Structure 1
Amino acid sequence: MRPFSSVHTFFRTTAASPYSYGKSYVSSTIFTITDPNHLPTSHLPASSGRDQCLRLLETCIGDKDLAVGARVHATIVTAGLQGDSFLAAKLVSLYSLCANPSTAAAILDGFAGCNVFLLNAAIRGNIGNGLYQRAIAVFDRKRRGGVVPDSSTFSCVAKACAFLSDLRRGRQLHGLAVASGLGEDLFVSNSLICMYAKCGSLAAGIQVFDKMHQRDAISWNSIISAHAQGGFDGGALVKVREMAGNGGLSPDDVTLVSALAVCFSAESVEEVHGYAIRNAFESTPTVSNALISAYGKCGRVGEARRVFNTSILRDKVSWNALISCYAQNGFFEESMQLLQDMRASGLDADVITYSGVISSLAQNDKPHQAMQIFKELLEVGLIPDAITIASILPAISDLPGVRLCREMHAYSYRHRMESDRRVKNALVSVYSKCGLIQNAYLVFERIEDRDVISWSSIVAGYAQNGCCNESLVVFGQMVRAEIEPNPISITSVLAACSGVSGLRQGREVHLWAIKHAFDGQTYVGSALIDMYAKCGRIVNSRRVFDLMKERNLVTWNAMIGGYAFHGLGEEAIKIFRSLDGPDEVSFIATLSACSHGGLVKEGIEIFNSMKDFKVNPREEHYACMVDILGRSGKLDRAMELVRAMPVKANSEIWGSLLGACKTHCNLGMGIYSGTQIIGNGSISSGYYVTLSNILAEFGRWSDVEATRELMNKKGVKKGIACSWIEVDKEVYHFVAKDRVQHPEWGRLLGILSSLSEQMKGMSS
Structure 2
Amino acid sequence: MGLYMPLFRACTTSRALTQLHARLIVTGLHKEPQASTKLIDSYARTGSLETSRIIFGSFPEPDSFMWGVLIKNHVWNCCFQDAISLYDAMLFHLPQMGDYTFPPVLRACAAIGDLGIGQKVHGRIVKSGFESDPIVETALLNMYGELGCILYARKLFDGMPIRDVVSWGSIISCYVHNEQPSEGLELLRGMAKEEIEIDSVTLLSAAEACGELGLWRLAKSVHAYVLRKNIQSDVTLNTSLISMYGKCGDTGSAEALFRSAVIRSIYTWTAMISSFNQNGCYREALGVFVDMQLQDSTVEPNEVTLMSALCACARSGWLKEGKSIHGFLIRNNIDADNDILRSALVDLYSNCGRLRDCLKVFDPAQDRHIVSWNMLISSYAREGMCEEALILFTQMLIKGIIPDSFTLGSVINACGDIGFIQLGSQMHCHVIKAGYSENEFVQNSLIDMYSKSGLVDSAYAIFEEIPDRGVVAWTSMMCGFHQNGKSEEAIALFSKMYSDSLEMNEVTYLTAIQACSNLGYLEKGKWIHHKLITFGVREDMYIGTALTDMYAKCGELQMARQVFDSMTEKSEISWSAMIGGYGLHGHIDAAISLFTDMVDSGIRPNDVIFMNILSACSHAGYVNEGKSYFNAMSDFGIEPKSEHFACLVDLLSRAGDVEEAYKVINSMPFPVDASVWASLINGCRIHHRTDIIASVQEKLVDIHTDDTGYYTLLSNVYAERGEWSECRTVRSKMQSAGLSKVHGYSMVVVDKRIHHMPGG
Q: By the TM > 0.5 criterion, same fold?
A: yes
**Residue 460 of structure 1: which of 460, 468, 479 is its match?**
479
Q: 1:428 to 1:710 in 2, by over 3 A?
A: same
Letter in 2 for 1:277: V
Q: Is the 8 A contact 1:324 1:356 kept in 2?
A: yes
Q: 1:119 to 1:611 in 2, by over 3 A?
A: farther
**Residue 474 of structure 1: which of 479, 483, 493 is its match?**
493
- Name the structure 2 match of 1:520: 539
Q: Deviations over 1:534-576 (max 9, x none)?
A: 2322221211122222333332333223323333233233333
Distance 2:168 2:653 in 1: 78
* Alignment of structure 1 residues 77-92 onto 2, 5 Å: none
**Residue 115 of structure 2: which of 61, 66, 69 is its match?**
66
- Name the structure 1 match of 2:448: 429
- Name the structure 2 match of 1:507: 526
- Name the structure 1 match of 2:756: 734
Point out the more displaced range, 484-493 or 510-519: 510-519
Distance 1:514 1:377 in 2: 47
Q: Kindly indicate whether residue 605 of structure 2 is the aligned counterpart of residue 569 of structure 1.
A: no
**Residue 450 of structure 1: which of 469, 489, 496 is its match?**
469
Distance 2:499 2:166 in 1: 37
- Name the structure 1 match of 2:556: 537
- Name the structure 2 match of 1:370: 389
Aligned pairs, how many?
Answer: 633
Letter in 2 for 1:393: I
- Tell me the SS of whatever aligns to 2:409: helix
Point out the more displaced range, 595-604 or 104-113: 104-113
- Name the structure 2 match of 1:653: 676
Q: Is the 8 A contact 1:292 1:322 kept in 2?
A: yes
- Name the structure 1 match of 2:659: 636
Which runs of 5 or more structure 2 residues have no equivalent in the other structure?
1-80, 82-89, 225-239, 295-299
Point out the more displaced range, 321-330 or 362-371: 321-330
Q: Is the 8 A contact 1:308 1:318 kept in 2?
A: no
Q: State the shift of 1:121 in Å.
A: 8.8
Letter in 1 for 2:718: L
Q: 1:433 to 1:289 in 2, by over 3 A?
A: same
Q: 1:56 to 1:372 in 2, by over 3 A?
A: closer
Q: Is the 8 A contact 1:720 1:735 kept in 2?
A: no
Percent identity between the two aligned chains: 27
Distance 1:491 1:309 in 2: 42
Q: Is the 8 A contact 2:310 2:344 kept in 1?
A: yes
Distance 1:527 1:464 in 2: 15
Q: Is the 8 A contact 1:119 1:139 kept in 2?
A: no
Point out the more displaced range, 545-554 or 153-162: 153-162
Distance 2:516 2:528 in 1: 9
Letter in 1 for 2:457: Q
Q: State the shift of 1:429 in Å.
A: 1.1
- Name the structure 2 match of 1:305: 323
Distance 2:648 2:461 in 1: 44
Q: Is the 8 A contact 2:273 2:309 kept in 1?
A: no
- Tell me the SS of whatever aligns to 2:640: coil
Distance 1:490 1:60 in 2: 54
- Name the structure 2 match of 1:278: 291
Q: Kindly indicate whether residue 612 of structure 2 is the aligned counterpart of residue 589 of structure 1.
A: yes
- Name the structure 2 match of 1:10: none
Q: State the shift of 1:492 in Å.
A: 0.9
- Name the structure 1 match of 2:246: 221
- Name the structure 2 match of 1:392: 411
Q: State the shift of 1:319 in Å.
A: 2.8
Distance 2:108 2:373 in 1: 38
Q: State the shift of 1:495 in Å.
A: 0.9
Distance 1:244 1:638 in 2: 72
- Tell me the SS of whatever aligns to 2:367: coil
* Alignment of structure 1 residues 155-554 onto 2, 5 Å: 185=221, 217-218=242-243, 221-222=246-247, 253-254=270-271, 256-257=273-274, 273-274=286-287, 276-280=289-293, 283=301, 285-286=303-304, 288-292=306-310, 295=313, 301-311=319-329, 312=332, 313=334, 314=336, 315-327=338-350, 331-340=354-363, 348-554=367-573
Q: Is the 8 A contact 1:510 1:519 kept in 2?
A: no
- Tell me the SS of whatever aligns to 1:280: helix
* Alignment of structure 1 residues 705-744 onto 2, 5 Å: 705-729=728-752, 731-734=753-756, 736=758
- Name the structure 2 match of 1:19: none
- Tell me the SS of whatever aligns to 2:742: coil
Q: 1:505 to 1:609 in 2, by over 3 A?
A: same
Q: 1:627 to 1:402 in 2, by over 3 A?
A: farther
Distance 2:347 2:741 in 1: 49
Letter in 2 for 1:221: G
Distance 1:647 1:255 in 2: 59
Highest relative contact order (Cα 8 Å, sep 6+), 1 or 2?
A: 1
Which runs of 5 or more structure 1 residues have no equivalent in the other structure?
1-22, 24-38, 163-173, 189-214, 226-238, 739-764
Letter in 2 for 1:662: R
Distance 1:86 1:487 in 2: 55
- Name the structure 1 match of 2:650: 627
Distance 1:102 1:270 in 2: 44
Q: State the shift of 1:435 in Å.
A: 1.2
Distance 1:83 1:245 in 2: 41
Distance 1:510 1:572 in 2: 24
Q: 1:655 to 1:72 in 2, by over 3 A?
A: farther
- Tell me the SS of whatever aligns to 1:491: helix
- Name the structure 2 match of 1:751: none
Letter in 1 for 2:755: H
Distance 2:742 2:543 in 1: 32
- Name the structure 2 match of 1:16: none
Distance 1:602 1:241 in 2: 61
TM-score, scaled to structure 1: 0.68
Letter in 2 for 1:622: F
Letter in 2 for 1:98: L
Q: Kindly indicate whether residue 704 of structure 2 is the aligned counterpart of residue 686 of structure 1.
A: no
Q: 1:695 to 1:427 in 2, by over 3 A?
A: same
Q: Is the 8 A contact 1:393 1:408 kept in 2?
A: yes
Letter in 1 for 2:406: I
Q: 1:217 to 1:109 in 2, by over 3 A?
A: closer
Distance 1:490 1:298 in 2: 26
Q: Is the 8 A contact 1:520 1:550 kept in 2?
A: no
Distance 2:172 2:759 in 1: 61
Distance 2:746 2:501 in 1: 32
- Tell me the SS of whatever aligns to 1:733: strand
TM-score, scaled to structure 2: 0.68
Distance 1:495 1:383 in 2: 40
- Tell me the SS of whatever aligns to 1:723: strand
* Structure (1 or 2) with the larger CA radius of gyration: 2
- Tell me the SS of whatever aligns to 2:293: coil
Distance 2:638 2:617 in 1: 18
Distance 2:610 2:660 in 1: 20
Point out the more displaced range, 269-278 or 533-542: 269-278
RMSD, aligned CA: 5.1
Q: 1:276 to 1:619 in 2, by over 3 A?
A: farther
- Tell me the SS of whatever aligns to 1:734: strand
Q: Is the 8 A contact 2:389 2:414 kept in 1?
A: yes
Q: State the shift of 1:511 in Å.
A: 2.7
Q: Deviations over 1:143-189 (max 9, x none)?
A: 9xxx99x9999999999989xxxxxxxxxxx9xx99xxx6974689x
Distance 2:352 2:132 in 1: 63
Letter in 2 for 1:714: A
Q: Is the 8 A contact 2:269 2:292 kept in 1?
A: no
- Tell me the SS of whatever aligns to 2:504: coil
Q: Is the 8 A contact 2:614 2:648 kept in 1?
A: yes
